Amino acid sequence: MRTRLRFVAAAGLLWLLASAPAVPAQEAKLAVEEHTLKNGMHFLFVERHQTPTVSGGWAAHVGSANETYGQTGIAHLFEHMMFKGTTTVNTKDFAKERPIMEKLDAVRAELAAEYEKVRAAKRLGEFEGEIYDPEKETPRIKELRAQLKKLQDEQSALVVKEEWDGIYEGQGSSSKNAFTTNDVTVYIVKIPANKLELWFWMESERLRDAVLREFYAERDVVREERRMRVESDPTAAYDEQFEAMFWTATPYHHPVIGWPADVESISREQGEAFFSTYYAPNNLTGVLVGDFDPKIARELAEKYFGRLPRGQKVPPVIVTEEIEQLAERRMAAAADTNPKVFVRWRTVPAIHKDSGAFKVAAGLLQGRAGRLYKSLVEEQGIATGEPGASAGWPQRLGGYMELDAELAEGHGHAEIEAALLAEIERLRTVAVGEQELQRVKNQTLADSYRRLEDSFYLMIQLAYFAGLGDWRLLETSTSRVLAVTAEDVLRVAAAYLTPERKNVLWYSRKAGAPEDPELAGLDARGKGFVKQALAQLEAIADATQLAKAVEELRSMGQQVPAEMKPAVDIAVRRGEERLKKLQAATSSEEAKQ
């Protein structure tokens, strides 16, 4: 999504995938019609006529797990690049742009050679600090960066900003977005039913005639996004290191946004190689849900996406498997946050036969009716807020189960950790009663049914699961959850949730760091969402753009699950406050002139 709030919006969309399996309340089959083109592109069509709109999306079967060292973050960078237009869209004169892009590549290659000299000096102990620190640039690097900036300005003068978005918006479309995960990259939009052909043309055109426009400028945007999302967030940098500790061999080890040095150094040549490998039609799945005729959709798919040549390269298979964890791992951090304990275990991929048992296990523990709240908050009074339990959102290579709780005043980390582990031990040794088991199943399936009611979110889930390898996970997870027995919960807890497989993170409050009182009632996910939203809003200096971003947040608040709405409301309110101040400052400056 070419808006300032792309990541925050994507976080809201992924929230829908983070807990219960997305399935109907009964084991009814989804009415999905499939169609495959000769070039290998697969389509999923779901015909619904409740409203005169169509939710359209497509999944590239690639995420950060497909990246190699030196290029981490490239999958997310490509999410940005796919909104940069074609040889005819987003440009005033591509013939003039092309030689500038070639010169940019040449300067970037020289810069890369200069930075390799700095790396060598650092390995020798002759350079201290960050290689890409602007304050430590050599004279030659400064000169090359100046050349790069001059060429970027020349190209920028030829670029028609936001034209891609403008075409969609001018035809009544909404909810344009995109998100990247470890496993998949998804592009989505909602269009009027009578603009179906527009979607087929637009989406096929940016694949057929993609231009990696302003590549190095956008790379800098991603680097700044990382600074806001990770390096400027009170806990995000620690969370990132906890993830890297948790995943040893699996490529989930590196963050979706990429390691800083990699983001700084990815070349357009590497980008083109990535595109030709992973964005070929035989590695894509298109999804339409809404008011359309599947017969017409098939014809349009053949007409537009059928133009795309099949990829010449077969995407490499990920063969690396996670190694067995032999001893518990621990991490402690002092940050600007409330004291908290996280405990996590590796579990199974989304497609695994035991995935349903872990979702039920998490359901037994989470929420106001769950065991953690009753034990840690109501009975013992050692935790505050609502302790969490999650089986994670579905992933292709592996899963996890995580518990968390915030310390009540006067209680310690070890006490909270022991209480969390006591509930795990109960899962491992005492069979759950039939009534409690059925309560969790009923709640899980009811939540899942609600999420399938909306055509837009059904489209997202189909695209996401298709990217994992099989959209039918939406159906098969129904029977898996319903089939879970008390013995299944005992078995998976005993096999996976063991002491030696445990990973623990303790957060302590950094000295002198006060709690934001407005965020005190939110859980960890809600707090993280608000902090990320506010960081992105703070970075917007133009009142018009800020107003647009606030409106996007407000619209998001009408679509997200109920547990996320308080966080969105806070972000909207803070955004409105900042907008008023920015508008006042702008008016004051205009008055002076």
pLDDT in tens, 234-280: 899 999 999 999 999 999 999 999 999 999 999 999 999 999 999 99
Lowest mean pLDDT among 168-172, 568-572, 589-593: 589-593
Residue 384: how many CB atoms within 10 A of its CB? 19
pLDDT at 197: 97
Lowest mean pLDDT among 43-52, 78-87, 110-119, 579-588: 579-588
Do 206 and 281 share a domain, yes or no?
yes
Q: Among 100, 127, 158, which residue terminates a domain?
A: 158
Residue 554 binned pLDDT confidence (cut-offs 50, 70, 90): confident
Do 76 and 219 share a domain, yes or no?
yes
Lowest mean pLDDT among 3-7, 388-392, 563-567: 3-7
Residue 550 binned pLDDT confidence (cut-offs 50, 70, 90): confident
Structural domain containing residue 545: 525-592
**Is 112 inside a domain boundary?**
yes
pLDDT at 517: 76
Phi, psi of 343 (to 5 degrees): -130, 130
Do 67 and 123 share a domain, yes or no?
no
Q: What mean pLDDT do residues 222-235 have?
A: 87
Conformation bin of residue 453: beta by default, left when phi > 0, alpha when psi is -120 to 50 = alpha
Model pLDDT for residues 367-412, shown as the tens digit of each residue: 999 999 999 999 999 999 899 999 988 999 999 999 999 999 999 9
Model pLDDT for residues 476-506, shown as the tens digit of each residue: 877 788 899 999 999 999 999 999 999 999 9
**Is 323 inside a domain boundary?**
no
Do 399 and 485 share a domain, yes or no?
yes
Do 47 and 149 share a domain, yes or no?
no
Q: For Cα atoms 250, 18, 225, give the angle at the middle one, nearest 5 degrees.
A: 70
**Is 515 inside a domain boundary?**
no
Residue 514 binned pLDDT confidence (cut-offs 50, 70, 90): low
Q: What mean pLDDT do residues 515-544 have?
A: 75
3-state secondary structure of 340: strand
- Return mean pLDDT, the chain: 89
Q: Is the pLDDT of residue 353 over 50?
A: yes
Q: Among 138, 158, 178, which residue terminates a domain?
A: 158
**Is 516 inside a domain boundary?**
no
Residue 586 binned pLDDT confidence (cut-offs 50, 70, 90): low
Lowest mean pLDDT among 45-49, 335-339, 343-347: 335-339
Higher pLDDT, 190 or 393: 190
Q: What mean pLDDT do residues 572-581 have?
A: 84
What is the count of structural domains for the chain? Answer: 4
Higher pLDDT, 297 or 443: 297
Q: Is the pLDDT of residue 589 over 60?
A: no
Do 32 and 102 share a domain, yes or no?
no
Do 531 and 471 share a domain, yes or no?
no
Do 206 and 144 share a domain, yes or no?
no
Phi, psi of 127 (to 5 degrees): -140, 135
**Is 324 inside a domain boundary?**
no
**Of 83, 39, 242, 69, which Cα lies nearest the Cα of 176?**
83
pLDDT at 588: 52
Determine which helix (DSSP H) or strand (DSSP E) holds 15, and give its type and residue range.
helix 6-15
Do 247 and 355 share a domain, yes or no?
no
Q: What mean pLDDT do residues 512-535 have?
A: 73
- The enclosing domain of 53 has a CATH number of 3.30.830.10
Q: Is the pLDDT of residue 168 over 60?
A: yes
Q: Is the pLDDT of residue 473 over 70?
A: yes
Cβ-based burial of 249 (10 A; exposed 0-12, middle 13-18, buried ≥19):
exposed
pLDDT at 458: 93
Q: What is the 3-state secondary structure (H, E, C) of 74-100?
A: HHHHHHHHCCCCCCCCCECCHHHHHHH
**Is 422 inside a domain boundary?**
yes
Neighbour-count burial for 119-130, b at 16+ CB within 10 Å, e otherwise:
eeeeeeeebeee
Q: What mean pLDDT do residues 320-344 have?
A: 95
Do 287 and 214 share a domain, yes or no?
yes
Do 277 and 404 share a domain, yes or no?
no
pTM, two decimal places: 0.85
Model pLDDT for residues 191-215, shown as the tens digit of each residue: 999 999 999 999 999 999 999 999 9
Residue 532 binned pLDDT confidence (cut-offs 50, 70, 90): confident
Residue 222 binned pLDDT confidence (cut-offs 50, 70, 90): very high
Q: Among 112, 142, 158, which residue terminates a domain?
A: 158
Model pLDDT for residues 13-59, shown as the tens digit of each residue: 554 454 434 334 344 468 999 999 999 999 999 999 999 999 999 99
**Is 347 inside a domain boundary?**
yes
Eight-class DSSP state of 394:
-
Do 79 and 213 share a domain, yes or no?
yes
**Is 190 inside a domain boundary?**
yes
Amino acid at 243: E
Is the Cβ–Cβ distance between 64 and 180 less than 8 Å? yes
- Over pLDDT 90: what percentage of the chain? 71
Is the Cβ–Cβ distance between 59 and 463 less than 8 Å? yes
